[in-house]
Amino acid sequence: MLPRTPVTSSCRCFPTDFMERGRASQSGRPTLARRVSFRDYVGIGLGSIVGVGWILVAGDWLMRGGPMGTILAFLIGGFLFISVGKCYAELTPALPLAGGEIAFAYKAFGTGYSFLTGWMLAFGYVTLGPFETTSLGWLFEFMVPSLKSAPLYEVGGFGVGWSSIIPGLAIGVLVMYVNYRGVKHSATFQLVSTVVLLACAAVFSFVAFTKGSFSNLQPLFAGSGSFVDNFGGFIAVLAVVPWFLAGFDAIPQAAEEADAAIDPKALGRAVIVSIIGGAFFYALVITAISTVMPW
């Protein structure tokens, strides 16, 4: 069990190095393998932010805010989100223990709030499962349309068949197996997946910018063109930006498995880098999508 210490504004109550882990392990907590590098942490954070779920809703963003409204929403939202990331960047090196927010809540408020924090996080992650699963299924059906199956049922007017479910479940089983193998395997898998995704996005963007037309960005905003409509579309997209920039919290949750050579403050930098990288990623792909054809 973690020792509780009242939180002060200066955070002097938090350890400033990884000695807390040593004391914790001596008191009966198991010692985790410390094999995750800074590069792995960036891959974990950025990969958790970008993912594939945006594929389903990119068109909806454009319909609500238009290209410029959506781009501004993610850039401004990312800038605002850095303030949240700075809090994590302060707490993560100060309390580098497995659990992230759960450990933070316990240290500050005790068992009850830590318990609630854990369950709220669990509920949030559970809601992501179907979203990511259907996103992978939709991508599979788009890439291999001949294997698209008949709908089994409908949700919100969209048909869901075996071809929508099986790819996501297969990837889920693979991720579970990789995590079972150990943190280094999981971190490497996440890093490679993130690099591949970013490479695909870069290739797509290059083709879009060279073969598409920037005139397709017009009109820049959705709606009638009035300031009220433009601003309303921008706000509509900005409201969902935190949902799509979430994921950097995977870094503090794995902080206890950091390589011994890592400066604890580097974990905080990985959080900020992930948020900034995610915001620019979304801005880039929206620009690329909008140049391919009239939106």
Q: State the average pLDDT for the chain.
A: 85
Query: What digits encode the pLDDT tens for the residues 40-89?
Result: 999 999 998 998 778 878 889 999 999 999 999 999 999 999 999 999 99
What pLDDT does residue 183 have? 84
Q: E strands within the chain?
A: 153-155, 158-160
Section 189-199 average pLDDT: 92
Angle between helices 111-143 and 101-109 (to 10 degrees): 170
Res 196: pLDDT: 93
pLDDT higher than 90, residue 195: yes
Neighbour count for residue 269 (Cβ, 10 Å): 17
| pLDDT tens digits along 225-259 | 788 888 999 999 999 999 899 889 999 998 999 88
| Amino acid symbol at 31 | T
User: Given a cut of 70, is residue 37 above it in pLDDT?
Assistant: yes
* Section 158-162 average pLDDT: 82
For residue 101, what pLDDT band results from cuts at 50, 70 and 90?
very high
DSSP string, 118-141: HHHHHHHHHHHHHHHHHHHHHHHH
Tens of pLDDT, residue by residue over 144-156, are 888 888 888 887 7
Whether the CB-CB separation of 271 and 92 falls below 8 Å is answered with: yes
